[in-house]
Amino acid sequence: MLTSVVGYPRIGAERELKFASEKYFKGEIGEKELLSVAKDLRAEHICSQKNAGIDFITSNDFSFYDGLLDTAVLCGIVPGRYKELGLSEQDTYFAMARGYQGEKGDVKALAMKKWFNTNYHYIVPEVEDDTVLRLAGTKIFDEYQEAKENNIETKPVIVGAYTLLSLCRYTGSKRREDYLDAAIEAYKAILAGLETLGAKWIQFDEPALVRDLDDTDQVFLQKLYQGILTGKGNVRVLLQTYFGDVRDVYDTITKLDVDGIGLDFIEGKQTEVLIEKNGFPKDKLLFAGLVNGKNIWKNHYEKTLDVLEKLKAQGIDTVLSTSCSLLHVPYTLEAETKLAEEYKKHFAYAKEKLTELRTIANIAASGDRDAFEAYRENKELFEKGRDCEDKDVQKRLKAIREEDYTRLPERTEREQIQKEALKLPKFPTTTIGSFPQTKDVKKNRSSFRKGEISETEYKAFNREKIKRAIEWQESIGIDVLVHGEYERNDMVEYFGESLSGYLFTEKAWVQSYGTRCVKPPVIWGDVSRKKPITVEWSAYAQSLSDKPVKGMLTGPVTILNWSFPREDISIRESMTQIALAIRDEVLDLEKNGIRIIQIDEAALREKLPLRRSDWYSEYLDFAIPAFRLVHSGVKAETQIHTHMCYSEFTDIIPAIDNMDADVITFEASRSDLLILDALKKCNFETEAGPGVYDIHSPRVPSVEEIVTALRKMRDKVADEKLWVNPDCGLKTRGEEETRASLINLVHAAEQIRKEA
Ligand code: GLN
Ligand code: ZN
């Protein structure tokens, strides 16, 4: 049985690409050095797949920033404002991804969005009316060729035309339908180019096919592929889907002249049924995504083999595959030197998944499971189970009453009480929590971790930082202060460390966007709060100022969504356990004099089912109550904030209001404030701080620019409900640009107060 990998992580096991790119951005290394790091990584990645016995290895899954952006650039989708900078090809690319501010101009980055239901972000390509969509690059050819030079035949991948055209933003009057012919020609040219090089397969990633597709979508898809596939020549086409099932277009795609179809058996709830009911064409290979590309638990061989046997019984020619790209899991368990074997034996990262693929395929091919020690071992592992239950947690869960999900008094009544208690000016200014994580801040934490400095020294350093941050915020006139989050590495791991049931890894980095990686902890067992988490820092910060200092927590939905979840209990149950733990922290903060508490839900939307029909029943109906459970116990005068890292919630505004927070801050500057119309239309009740500038980029917004944004916001949000803040936390920014930006922000708020 053959095996296939949809895509491999590219940042490097030691995050080599991240570090090289960052050096390049700072001008510390040149393009040549950056390219050479990238080349080495690519070689290593395909070689380790080859060595593991993978048959279908992907090339061109490498990216300097994002695969969708790569595909857009390959197709000539580069907005004029970036071309006009007159930068090198590489730097034009980075300008689109990160913005550019320098001698040659000042241009913001393209928008960034979460890639389907993952924590990976893609860059949103922009199509202008005069964009000429055509084959305009060579990356896919170069990387295929490069692999070949390493004696490895690969299946180059690009984002398929349907997903590409569906995810683009159209800034003019044209729509995706207007690019049908051009896209067909471009993709045909790609096929032709690969044919010339002797490629045997190409993989078109089409995750957009697992969403709800209406008739127009289906017709568009069909036309697009019928056109593209006329240019197939000798290159075989794998239509790869993932993150769900293709129920709306199963019929359409199985009738296309493709040679392989990749289906997700992990997240695709209906995948098996679709195949059973409709059959699978004899002339195509089924790439069965049975090894989870998103989670770190070992595959349950028995279950997988059962499915493979069923497929075989149906006479289907099957290739065993990952369920999606391994981009979403860390590199290798080999790097986890501190994690006990007792835990490790339950896990498989990218490299171990390669072995799983090969092993399972071998067992399936032999037909005699028990002859394989690997099979017997795996079976035993799952039969034995894990030591992960906590009786107290389960008791507490059972004791939750319906009224624990509701905060009283109601919002309007609270609003008055809070206005009197907090005495904030109109258009209060605040930030989202973190301040720049400068070298010294990171050093302090890592020295403490390594035992190089004592706890007293560690704390003294952070206190000094907090003190300076408070003084500085007061001096420039910010109204609601933050302590700066100097004690945190990231917003989930930090909390997880004080929660029982959590496990931490050393090297389990996963790319989030560009050079940013996260290291999600693992939910191993039942969760509860071991001890107060943030209280000491927040209380200290508050003691330094008469202005309110926000307590800063991560909410249960985000903690869960940014962890590797358990597979043995439901997401709902895990989330409720975490909510109870964070509730304890909220009440402790309040007891210690914190008057405003922000509960970040940066990842609330992330696990929203991709199909609208599942949104409430399979997610929002428990995720929103879990958030309310966290704060329902506070006094009326305690103000609850929440924060989200995107403005993509036009369609779930009632659910957001239902979180019953008093204030919400969210990203808005990168998406043209479109969300505001929707808030107005829905009579959004929560006070709102739409971000007035983009923190993903080092550029400093001018006062004028912020004032303009605020004026637009005032048209849509009532003055009494409007807050002034950046898009997100400032941890990834430098100190200098942060200062300059926040000073401008305060000046802008002052000016708006005069206008109001
Ligand atoms: N409070 C966090 C911070 O400012 C929020 C981060 C986030 O939303 N990703 O860093
Ligand atoms: Zn954010």
57 C-alpha to ligand 2 centroid (Å): 36
271 C-alpha to ligand 2 centroid (Å): 35
717 C-alpha to ligand 1 centroid (Å): 23
The rounded distance, in Å, linking the Cα atoms of 202 and 189 is: 13
> Between residues 61 and 647, which one has the greater pLDDT?
61
The pLDDT, as a whole number, for residue 645 is 85
Element (H or E) spanning 621, and its range?
helix 621-631
578 C-alpha to ligand 2 centroid (Å): 20
Instruction: Report the candidate in 90, 117, 67 with the shortest Cα–Cα distance to residue 513.
Output: 67
Which ranges in the chain are annotated with CATH 3.20.20.210? 3-69+110-384, 408-437+475-494+536-755
SS (H, E, C) 59-86: ECCCCCCCHHHHHHHHCCCCCHHHHCCC
432 C-alpha to ligand 1 centroid (Å): 6
725 C-alpha to ligand 1 centroid (Å): 12
Ligand 1 pocket test: pick from 478, 482, 485 the residue with the most ligand atoms within 8 Å of its Cβ.
485
431 C-alpha to ligand 1 centroid (Å): 10
The rounded distance, in Å, linking the Cα atoms of 77 and 125 is: 7
DSSP string, 194-205: HHHHT--EEEEE
Single-letter code of the amino acid located at 367: G
pLDDT digits (tens, 9 = 90+) for 656-696: 999 999 999 999 887 667 789 999 999 999 999 999 999 98
Tell me the average pLDDT across 471-481: 98
472 C-alpha to ligand 2 centroid (Å): 22
Cβ–ligand 1 contact at 433 (below 6 Å) = yes
Which atom of ligand 1 lies at the shortest distance from residue 731's CA? Answer: 10
Cβ–ligand 1 contact at 726 (below 6 Å) = no
The rounded distance, in Å, linking the Cα atoms of 698 and 732 is: 9
Cβ–ligand 1 contact at 552 (below 6 Å) = yes
Is the confidence at residue 64, as pLDDT, over 90?
Answer: yes
Local structure of residue 487 (DSSP, 8 states): T
Contact 4, 261 (CB under 8 A): no
Cβ–ligand 1 contact at 645 (below 6 Å) = yes
Which atom of ligand 1 lies at the shortest distance from residue 645's CA? Answer: 8
46 CB-near residues (< 8 Å, 6+ apart)? 8, 57, 59, 147, 150, 152, 154
487-491, 525-529, 591-595, 598-602: least confidently modelled range: 487-491
The rounded distance, in Å, linking the Cα atoms of 449 and 654 is: 43
360 C-alpha to ligand 1 centroid (Å): 41
Ligand 1 pocket test: pick from 437, 441, 491 the residue with the most ligand atoms within 8 Å of its Cβ.
491
Which atom of ligand 1 lies at the shortest distance from residue 598's CA? Answer: 1
> pLDDT band at 499, cuts 50/70/90?
very high
Cβ–ligand 1 contact at 353 (below 6 Å) = no
60 C-alpha to ligand 1 centroid (Å): 32
- Whose alpha carbon is nearest atom 4 of ligand 1? 729
Contact 99, 109 (CB under 8 A): yes
- Whose alpha carbon is nearest atom 8 of ligand 1? 602
Element (H or E) spanning 319, and its range?
strand 318-322
Ligand 1 pocket test: pick from 552, 553, 598, 666 the residue with the most ligand atoms within 8 Å of its Cβ.
552
Cβ–ligand 1 contact at 121 (below 6 Å) = no
Ligand 1 pocket test: pick from 112, 432, 516 the residue with the most ligand atoms within 8 Å of its Cβ.
432
- Whose alpha carbon is nearest atom 5 of ligand 1? 729
Is the confidence at residue 294, as pLDDT, over 80?
Answer: yes
The pLDDT, as a whole number, for residue 490 is 83
The pLDDT, as a whole number, for residue 696 is 86
Cβ–ligand 1 contact at 728 (below 6 Å) = yes
Instruction: Report the candidate in 640, 569, 634 with the shortest Cα–Cα distance to residue 600.
Output: 640
Would you state the torsion angle of the CA atoms of residues 221, 222, 223, 228, taken in this order, to the nearest 10 degrees? 90
Match 């309310």 to its residue by tokens: 628
> pLDDT band at 180, cuts 50/70/90?
very high
Cβ–ligand 1 contact at 600 (below 6 Å) = yes
Instruction: Report the candidate in 206, 197, 280, 207 with the shortest Cα–Cα distance to residue 235.
Output: 197
Is the confidence at residue 93, as pLDDT, over 80?
Answer: yes
The rounded distance, in Å, linking the Cα atoms of 445 and 490 is: 12
Active site residues: 696
Q: Nearest ligand, CA of residue 490? A: 1
Ligand 1 pocket test: pick from 434, 473, 644, 664 the residue with the most ligand atoms within 8 Å of its Cβ.
434
Q: CB count, 10 Å around CB of 102?
A: 12
Which atom of ligand 1 lies at the shortest distance from residue 431's CA? Answer: 4
- Whose alpha carbon is nearest atom 9 of ligand 1? 602
665 CB-near residues (< 8 Å, 6+ apart)? 430, 432, 641, 642, 643, 644, 688, 689, 690, 691, 723, 725
Using DSSP bridges, classify how beta strands 121-123 and 112-114 pair: parallel, antiparallel or unpaired: antiparallel
Cβ–ligand 1 contact at 599 (below 6 Å) = no
104 C-alpha to ligand 2 centroid (Å): 30
SS3 191: helix
Task: Report helix, strand and coil shares of the chain as percent, to nearest 5.
Answer: 45, 15, 40
Residue 661: exposure state from Cβ atoms within 10 A (0-12, 13-18, ≥19): buried
Which atom of ligand 1 lies at the shortest distance from residue 729's CA? Answer: 4
Cβ–ligand 1 contact at 491 (below 6 Å) = yes
The rounded distance, in Å, linking the Cα atoms of 313 and 285 is: 15
Return the half-sphere exposure (C-beta side, CA atoms, 13 A cut-off) of residue 64.
26
Instruction: Report the candidate in 745, 733, 648 with the shortest Cα–Cα distance to residue 697.
Output: 733
Q: Nearest ligand, CA of residue 731? A: 1
308 C-alpha to ligand 1 centroid (Å): 43
Tell me the average pLDDT across 413-423: 97
Using DSSP bridges, classify how beta strands 499-503 and 522-529 pair: parallel, antiparallel or unpaired: antiparallel
Q: Nearest ligand, CA of residue 552? A: 1
pLDDT digits (tens, 9 = 90+) for 319-374: 999 999 999 999 999 999 999 999 999 999 999 999 999 999 999 999 999 999 99
The pLDDT, as a whole number, for residue 282 is 96
Is the confidence at residue 647, as pLDDT, over 80?
Answer: no
The rounded distance, in Å, linking the Cα atoms of 442 and 486 is: 8
The rounded distance, in Å, linking the Cα atoms of 46 and 35 is: 17
Is the confidence at residue 535, as pLDDT, over 90?
Answer: yes
Contact 596, 641 (CB under 8 A): yes
Contact 557, 602 (CB under 8 A): no
Cβ–ligand 1 contact at 603 (below 6 Å) = no
pLDDT digits (tens, 9 = 90+) for 335-345: 999 999 999 99
Q: What is the CATH number of domain 408-437+475-494+536-755?
A: 3.20.20.210
Q: Nearest ligand, CA of residue 666? A: 2
Tell me the average pLDDT across 458-469: 98
Length of the chain: 756
Instruction: Report the candidate in 429, 410, 561 with the shortest Cα–Cα distance to residue 482.
Output: 429
Which atom of ligand 1 lies at the shortest distance from residue 602's CA? Answer: 8
Ligand 1 pocket test: pick from 643, 665, 696 the residue with the most ligand atoms within 8 Å of its Cβ.
643
pTM score above 0.85: yes
> pLDDT band at 493, cuts 50/70/90?
confident
CATH architecture under which domain 3-69+110-384 falls: Alpha-Beta Barrel (3.20)
Is the confidence at residue 215, as pLDDT, over 90?
Answer: yes
Q: Nearest ligand, CA of residue 691? A: 2
The pLDDT, as a whole number, for residue 435 is 97
Cβ–ligand 1 contact at 738 (below 6 Å) = no
The pLDDT, as a whole number, for residue 711 is 96
CA angle 202, 207, 209 (to 5 degrees): 105
pLDDT digits (tens, 9 = 90+) for 701-750: 999 999 999 999 999 999 999 999 999 999 999 999 999 999 999 999 99
- Whose alpha carbon is nearest atom 1 of ligand 1? 433
Would you state the torsion angle of the CA atoms of residues 410, 413, 415, 416, taken in this order, to the nearest 10 degrees? -170
Q: Nearest ligand, CA of residue 667? A: 2
The rounded distance, in Å, linking the Cα atoms of 669 and 533 is: 32
Which atom of ligand 1 lies at the shortest distance from residue 554's CA? Answer: 1
Tell me the average pLDDT across 165-187: 97
Instruction: Report the candidate in 714, 705, 710, 689 with the shortest Cα–Cα distance to residue 744.
Output: 705
Instruction: Report the candidate in 123, 127, 91 with the shortest Cα–Cα distance to residue 83.
Output: 91
Q: CB count, 10 Å around CB of 396?
A: 16
The pLDDT, as a whole number, for residue 684 is 96
Mean pLDDT over the full length of the chain: 96
pLDDT > 70: percent of the chain = 100
The rounded distance, in Å, linking the Cα atoms of 581 and 570 is: 17
Tell me the average pLDDT across 145-169: 98
- Whose alpha carbon is nearest atom 6 of ligand 1? 729
Q: Nearest ligand, CA of residue 728? A: 2
Helix 31-51 with 139-149: angle, nearest 10 deg? 60
Using DSSP bridges, classify how beta strands 522-529 and 516-518 pair: parallel, antiparallel or unpaired: unpaired
The pLDDT, as a whole number, for residue 381 is 96
The rounded distance, in Å, linking the Cα atoms of 75 and 126 is: 12
